[in-house]
Amino acid sequence: MTRVLVINSGSSSLKLQILDTAVEKELAWALVERIGDPVGSLTVRRSEWTGSSAQSRSAEAEFADHTAALGLVLELAAELRVHPTDLGVEAIGHRVVHGGPAFHEPVLVTPEVEADIEELELLAPLHNPANLRGIRVARELLPGLPHVAVFDTGFFHTLPAAAHTYAIDAETAQRWHLRRYGFHGTSHEFVSRRTADVLGRPYDELNQIVLHLGNGASASAIEAGRAVDTSMGLTPLEGLVMGTRPGDLDPGLIIHLIRDRGMAPEDVSTLLNRRSGLEGLAGARDFRELLAGVDDDDEAATLAYDVVIHRLRRYIGGYWAVLGRVDAITFTAGVGENVARLRADALATLGDWGVQIDPEANENGSGERLISTPDSRVKVLVVPTDEELAIARACDVVLGLGPAD
Ligand code: ADP
């Protein structure tokens, strides 16, 4: 039995989960938001899988930094008897967004690994510093336990050069490690492996397209168990339309804004990371809000929805051509798991390609399931992602605590 604390540290948030990988259950969970603001919020919850009743503690206070936030989480966890020591946690797994050219697999965190992750901050200035802060704070407050870093880019290290190479001056690209890395890899791997399990087929015989559609969104093409293309690139800005990011656009637009329109690079970064996508088009970053607008015939919301669907179709068609044969298409994450209408619209033109959605299964089921008709040559599935479980399992493997799957 292995118990792992998984930490996802953002710039102003901390998400923690203690999982038992043997039974795949969550024992405890905590969320801190608005770290650094005058009033932040914190919740720690004990689940019934601890053997005691479910219970939670919340606090609204100023959390000056991640150390203060994690300190209070551990204090409240101790009150609920779900402190990592109480639950016999054996390892701590950290989500790290960018593994750069060096990290392909999850690794045990050492001072050298910390330094290498720090060096990658230039490639991922919006994510890696926050991830590293989480690692440092957790190592300080929970010494004596092994810490493992699991990289969002890892699964995509197998991309062929043709897929990961940007067609720019080769020397410049090489000098600054400019290439497509891909993100959400932990989710794409978890979901594609589950897809094979659900279909009862060997993972390395299936060609798959996985659509991870949450606030961030990405698509991947997986050929016989190996990732061969993905929509996110050097950074998580490229590809599909997202909650606040545009996905693909002409790089000339960025040059135009900076050189010809006098926009500061920092403002362009804010535009592309926070004021684009659904937010930029319809003022609604949350998909539920967007759908409410579509139902009300709101023009901006309808256009945003149409752009989302158009982009999805382009990626699905493109990956189909890359793969040659597609066995399964799987939807995951908040939007992919919950929005039947988007799944149907994204695949609506593929009837001649052997994709038939079963409207009943698509609209009424829940959880992991097949949503294509029995006759559909290509299987279509919904598979809820579980990045925390995948990170916990990766810790098992790195530390030799449990079986590799
Ligand atoms: P992330 O992990 O990237 O923050 P999630 O995978 O949690 O994102 O997905 C968040 C998105 O999923 C939001 O746009 C949210 O509106 C959408 N979403 C979640 N549940 C539903 C639902 N039942 N119906 C429609 N959209 C939903």
Q: 247-295, pLDDT tens digit by residue?
A: 999 999 999 999 999 999 999 999 999 999 999 999 998 999 999 999 9
Q: CA dist 195 to 333, 366, 379, Å?
A: 14, 15, 10
CB 123 within 8 A of CB 67: no
Q: Is residue 152 annotated as part of the catalytic site, yes or no?
A: yes
Average pLDDT, the chain: 95
Above 60 in pLDDT, residue 187? yes
Q: Does the beta carbon of 287 lie inside 6 Å of ligand 1?
A: yes
Q: Which residue among the candidates 20, 152, 327, 358 is catalytic per the annotation?
A: 152
Distance 144 CA to ligand 1 centre (A): 36
Residue 320 CA, ligand 1 centroid: distance in Å? 26
Average pLDDT score over residue span 30-54 = 94
DSSP helix/strand/coil, 37: coil
pLDDT at residue number 242: 97
- Please give the distance, rounded to the nearest whole angstrom, from the Cα atom of residue 333 to the centre of ligand 1: 7
CB-based contacts of 10, cutoff 8 Å, min separation 6: 130
Atom of ligand 1 nearest to the CA of 217: 3
pLDDT tens sequence across 229-251? 999 999 999 999 999 999 999 99
For a pocket test of ligand 1, which of 13, 338, 362 has the largest count of ligand atoms closer than 8 A to its C-beta? 338
- When pLDDT is averaged across residues 352-380 and rounded to a whole number, the result is 96
Q: Decide: 184 and 285 in contact? Cβ < 8 Å.
A: no
90-119: pLDDT as tens digits: 999 999 999 999 999 999 999 999 999 999
Cα–Cα dist 53/301, whole Å: 43
| pLDDT above 60: residue 13 | yes
Ligand 1: residue whose CA is nearest its atom 23: 338
Tell me, in angstroms, the distance from the centre of ligand 1 to residue 341's CA.
Answer: 14
The pLDDT assigned to 124 comes to: 86
Scanning the structure block, which residue is given the tokens 């991947």? 220
Give pLDDT, residue 130. Answer: 92
Q: Is 333 in the pocket of ligand 1 (CB under 6 A)?
A: yes
The H or E element spanning position 210 is: strand 207-213
DSSP 110-167: -HHHHHHHHHGGGT-TTTHHHHHHHHHHHHHHSTTS-EEEEETTGGGGG--HHHH--S
